[in-house]
Amino acid sequence: MKRENLLIGSKVIFLPQCSSTNDLAKESAQMGEPHGTIYRCNSQTAGRGKDGKIWYSIPNKGIYFSVILRPGKNFPLCWLPYISGISVCESVRELFNLFPAIKWPNDVYLEGKKFCGILIESSFGREGIDYAIVGIGINVNHEREDFPEYLKEKATSIKIVIGKEIDNNLLFEKIIEKLNFWYEKLALNQISIIHKTLNSLSLIPIGSKIEVLDGGRIIKGEFRGFDDQGALLLRERRIIHKIYSGEMISYNV
């Protein structure tokens, strides 16, 4: 069997607590763990977010997991963050009839607040990509008081939005099902359906005024959607910037 034919989640390694599932997955990928293996924990003591931020991983409330992927040559890696966000959005919509949205590049929002973050870390060898780790953290059964003061206005959880306790395992299984579906589309280079789905789930509509942090500089302009390489298109007067990674620091500006 070709290693990339293994299903995502055919092996799930569960630990009640760990430092960071991304770190576990990375170490294990370096030791040769095959495509599809997942590390999942009920709490993390050193959960990591993007740009060195902390990911608050409160015990038994959220879902914290990391997937080892070995995509092989010519895989359109730039779409990986998007299919991860799409998988979370669709799972939450189907199970709870909620309508989450993707805030570029890969945060997932409910009612204007973040409830899911995605951290992708890749390693490249001489022959191209060796592995990619997709780390997903979801605020599921958090109460408002669970968040530190500075996050209370910015973060939410599914429980806060629907007002009842959620079965974490049910949501986890659904996300894995969706990840398998969308990963296959990506592996087959079926970008147009991913592109269309991303547009339909985008937090901000085309034409919105946004500010993006790209490297060290802030670019302010009009959101023009995404190109075929997954770059965000930002029109600043007559220039169209193609932005492959960064952070949207404000919208409707």
Binding segment (CB under 6 A) for ligand BTN, from list 62-70, 189-197, 200-208, 220-228: 62-70
9 binds ligand BTN (CB under 6 A): no
Whether the CB-CB separation of 136 and 115 falls below 8 Å is answered with no
Footprint of ligand BTN on residues 171-230 (CB under 6 A)? none
User: What residues contact residue 242 under an 8 Å CB cut-off, 6+ apart?
Assistant: 227, 229, 231, 232, 233
Q: Does 135 bind ligand BTN (CB under 6 A)?
A: yes
Helix axes 80-96, 191-201, angle to 10 degrees: 60
Q: How far is the CB of 63 from ligand BTN (least distance, A)?
A: 8
- State yes or no: residue 246 binds ligand BTN (CB under 6 A): no
Minimum separation from the CB atom of position 39 to ligand BTN (A): 8
Using CA atoms, how far apart are residues 5 and 133, in angstroms rounded to an integer?
17
**Among residues 3, 10, 17, 53, the one that binds ligand BTN under rule CB under 6 A:** 53
Are residues 11 and 38 in contact, defined by beta-carbon separation less than 8 angstroms?
yes
Q: Which residues contact 212 (CB under 8 A, 6 or more apart)?
A: 218, 219, 232, 234, 243, 246, 247, 248, 249
Question: Rule CB under 6 A: is residue 134 a binding residue for ligand BTN?
Answer: no
Q: Does 50 bind ligand BTN (CB under 6 A)?
A: yes
Q: Least CB distance from residue 193 to ligand BTN, whole Å?
A: 25
CA angle 174, 177, 82 (to 5 degrees): 95
Q: Identify residue 155 by its one-letter amino acid code.
A: A
CB of 211 to ligand BTN, least distance (A): 18
Measured at CB, which residue is nearest to ligand BTN? 117
Interface ranges with ligand BTN (CB under 6 A): 20-22, 44, 47-50, 53, 55, 64-66, 107, 117-119, 135-137
